[in-house]
Structure 1
Amino acid sequence: LAEPIQQLTSNNQGRSSREHVPFTLLAHKEKCGEVLFEKRHYEKGHWACITMREDTYEQSICYGFMRIMRYICQQNSLDDYLGMTLPIVTVVRTDENHSVISHDVTVAYYLPAEHQAQPPQPHDSDIIVEVWPASVVYTRIIASFAVFPVAFTGPTNEVTIIDQINAMAELLDSPGVCVNDSFIVAGYTNPAHSHRQNEIWFLERR
């Protein structure tokens, strides 16, 4: 697990070996010269997913992340290291009032471009390779000049996720265009890192 975890933890080294999930920037909203959020289009692609049901969100993402890492490193049908992509995402589900997070948390990894056509199959039967349809997302960011266009840093737990969801909802001109009970936390650093780089994604209704 050392290589992908080092890539996720390092601030400078190994960045060239990190493949980012491709997207097209459709629009952004600014206020006083600061970018409040972006609207992006992500193409259809294969993702390796595992759904965890631990006592806390933190436990679910950490355990799920480690099992996904094992798949990336060697526990796959190629018995080889697949390559790191960013972000690693978690799908969280809430009630309609955005006050409670479900214990079911899905951790997902985007397959590198070279494996999209023929995704290696996981040895872990709980990891499922799925085709996610093309999607439009709205994501909250700090500033346009940030190294990572992220919404927030630091630990993620039930409280911070709910706070970030509600903060993003207030920024949207028409929040009704987005799915109201399912959101994505996109992580650009190791979930165990003390200064994580994260985004909140709202999914546009199809």
Structure 2
Amino acid sequence: MDRGGCQLSGGGGGGGGGPGPESATGNGMITLEDLESFSEDPGNGGGGGGGGGAEEEDRDTMEADDDRLLHYWQDIARGHQVEVPEEMAQPIQQLTSNNEGRSNREQVPFNLLTHKEKCGELLYEKRSYEKAHWACVTVCEDTYEQSICYGFMRLMRYICQQNSSGEYLGMSLPILTIIHTDENQSVISRSVTVAYYLPANHQAQPPRPTDSDILIEIWPAAVVYTRPFVGPTNEVTIMNQIHAMAEILDSPGVCVNDSFIVAGYTNPAHANRQNEIWFMERR
């Protein structure tokens, strides 16, 4: 594993409104929106028991809800040739109960330096990001979609108590995926790094992961060029976005040409997923 490959400075190394179960045939990983849309669906049964409030009934209800959520994730993941193990039941339930809406998700802070528009359409933004702690895991599976799914599940376990504090750490957006290409930007490496920004209250002293493959890294301050795009993320769509961004930039040579970031803000299985492609300015 490339232990130094997660940094925004572009040195190498290789992310994150769900529509509900009907989106399971889309491309990408499964994230919070899937769970929220599921838990808000009255037909899928959430919430407390009917009469009496017996402790045993409450426990049975909670266990049934855990099973439904796990099976929902497993159904979605199966479409991407991904296996969701039984041990993911608790992290999935915890993310659901702790994230009832987007207001609970911390946004990665940045300063907008400039932007470029054409005919009222935003072509790209130039932003600066400050030095910060990120939790990163590098995964290499047969497909890009498998890599980001398995990487995100490992980060979920870290976020949900499998850390030295034993506490739920809180969700942040976007989830980043660092990808590598050859210098001609024609092939994407299967090895990717999925990265999670530590919320502000954990930046000073990030809890240590119990998973030894998850690294807590200090990413240096960086300048990135970002372009929004909507839809699924896979090898084809990402390569198309890289080529489109390279044509739009006035001086693409100022950016790293073989390492890029996909920033995910909504469920990648959604047909209208909100994403960005990031080019990193050379240091």
Using the size of structure 1 for normalisation, the TM-score is 0.89
2:93 matched residue in structure 1: 2
Question: What does the per-residue CA deviation read over 1:99-157, in whole Å, with 9 as the maximum and x for residues that have no partner?
Answer: 1011210000000000000000101111000000111000112xxxxxxxxx222x211
Amino acid at match of 1:18: R
Amino acid at match of 1:37: Y
CA distance in 2, matches of 1:116, 1:132: 12
Work out whether 1:75 is the aligned partner of 2:162. yes
Which of 226, 230, 243 matches 1:152? Answer: 230
| 2:128 partner SS | strand
Alpha carbons of structure 1 residues 82 and 124: separation in structure 2 relative to 1, 3 Å: same
Amino acid at match of 2:256: V
Alpha carbons of structure 1 residues 33 and 203: separation in structure 2 relative to 1, 3 Å: same
Q: Which runs of 4+ in 1 moved over 6 A?
A: none
Work out whether 1:108 is the aligned partner of 2:231. no
1:125-140 maps to which residues of 2 (within 5 A)?
125-140=212-227
| 2:201 partner SS | helix
Q: Shift in Å at residue 33 of structure 1?
A: 1.6
Alpha carbons of structure 1 residues 116 and 122: separation in structure 2 relative to 1, 3 Å: same
2:242 matched residue in structure 1: 165
CA distance in 1, matches of 2:278, 2:97: 25
1:49 matched residue in structure 2: 136
CA distance in 2, matches of 1:117, 1:76: 15
1:96 matched residue in structure 2: 183
Looking at secondary structure, tell me which structure has more helix per residue: 2
Q: Do the aligned partners of 1:7 and 1:15 also contact (CA within 8 Å) in 2?
A: no
Q: Shift in Å at residue 35 of structure 1?
A: 1.4
Q: Shift in Å at residue 189 of structure 1?
A: 2.0
RMSD: 1.6
Work out whether 1:199 is the aligned partner of 2:264. no
CA distance in 1, matches of 2:93, 2:268: 14
CA distance in 2, matches of 1:53, 1:35: 34
Using the size of structure 2 for normalisation, the TM-score is 0.65
Work out whether 1:29 is the aligned partner of 2:107. no
Q: How many residues align?
A: 192
Looking at secondary structure, tell me which structure has more strand per residue: 1
Work out whether 1:175 is the aligned partner of 2:266. no
Counting aligned pairs with the same residue, the percent is 74
CA distance in 1, matches of 2:273, 2:94: 18
2:204 matched residue in structure 1: 117
Q: Shift in Å at residue 15 of structure 1?
A: 1.6
Q: Do the aligned partners of 1:5 and 1:190 also contact (CA within 8 Å) in 2?
A: no
Alpha carbons of structure 1 residues 189 and 38: separation in structure 2 relative to 1, 3 Å: same
| 2:266 partner SS | coil
* Larger radius of gyration between Structure 1 and Structure 2: 2
